[in-house]
Amino acid sequence: MTKISNGKRIYGAWAGDPAGTPEDTARCIEEVMGSGRDMHSYQCGKKRGHGEGGLYCRIHDPEYVKAKLQARQDVWDKETAESTAKYKLEFTAVKACKEINPDNPQAVAERIVKAVNSYDAMKEALQAIKEPAGAWSNDKVTYLENVINHTIELAEQALAEGK
Ligand SMILES: [Zn+2]
């Protein structure tokens, strides 16, 4: 901790050097630790001029430190939210498959994948039924079209709900 003695900051004071090193008023007031095994503390070596009273260097400006921490927190929050959502989704999906078939939820999941994959093919096939209908009566064509459209609608609804 930076000591204040007679209103002046003292750096690196310890039992072996109780007087420490007085503040250099051209430099940032932040206290930094020595590198490696050097356990002493020193006044930051960078020029001051930032933050409240211009007492800090750029990277020790409390506003800058706060913004940096907040940015890191935001990234962390976003990642946590994403992985939580993913986990919840997977948990819900597995739970639903287990409810359908407790002995083999994997088979249920595979069936759903197959159903989704075959959806486009089914839609195409249903559309194709319409084509040779030219010879049929208009009432029958209309009826068939209604049935096809209704089936597609139901399938789309089921898919949308499954997503
Ligand atoms: Zn500094």
Give the model confidence (pLDDT) of 48-68 as tens digits.
999 999 999 999 999 999 999
Rama region for 32: left / alpha / beta (φ>0; ψ in -120 to 50; rest): beta
Mean pLDDT of the chain: 83
Q: How far is the centre of ligand 1, averaged over its atoms, from the C-alpha of 15 (Å)?
A: 25
- Measure 38 CA to ligand 1 centroid, in angstroms: 18
Is 133 a member of any domain? yes
How many separate domains does the chain show? 1
Query: Quick count: other Cβ atoms within 10 Å of Cβ 57?
Result: 19
Residue 160 within a domain: yes
pLDDT higher than threshold 60 for residue 70: yes
Q: In terms of residue numbers, what domain contains 162?
A: 103-163
* Residue 59 CA, ligand 1 centroid: distance in Å: 6
- How many angstroms is it from 16 CA to the middle of ligand 1? 25
Q: Is 58 a member of any domain? A: no
Q: Which amino acid is at 148?
A: I
**150 within some domain:** yes
Angstrom distance (rounded) from CA 88 to CA 8: 56
DSSP tag of 131: G
What are the φ and ψ backbone dihedral angles of 47, each rounded to 5 degrees? -65, 140
Contact between 13 and 39 under an 8 Å Cβ cutoff? The reply is: no
**Terminal CA-CA length for the chain:** 56
Measuring CA to CA, how many Å separate 108 from each of 22, 82, 96, 115?
73, 26, 9, 10
Separation CA 73–CA 67 (nearest Å): 10
Q: Which of 23, 22, 24, 28 is nearest to 49 (CA)?
A: 28
Which span out of 4-13, 68-77, 121-130, 140-149 was modeled with the highest average pLDDT?
A: 68-77
Q: Is residue 152 part of a domain?
A: yes
Q: How many angstroms is it from 44 CA to the middle of ligand 1?
A: 5
- Which pLDDT does position 120 carry in this prediction? 65
- Residue 45 in domain: no
How confident is the model at residue 60, as a pLDDT?
96
pLDDT value, residue 72: 94
State in Å: Cα 57 to ligand 1 middle: 4
Spacing, Cα 150 to ligand 1 middle (Å)? 70
Helix 62-100 vs helix 105-130: crossing angle, to nearest 10: 80
Name the pTM for this structure. Answer: 0.52
pLDDT of residue 22: 93
Q: Indicate whether 23 belongs to any domain.
A: no
In a domain, 81, yes or no: no
Phi, psi of 36 (to 5 degrees): 65, -125
pLDDT higher than 70, residue 162 = no
- Is the predicted pLDDT of residue 31 greater than 80, yes or no? yes
Q: What whole-number distance in Å separates Cα of residue 30 and Cα of residue 46?
A: 9
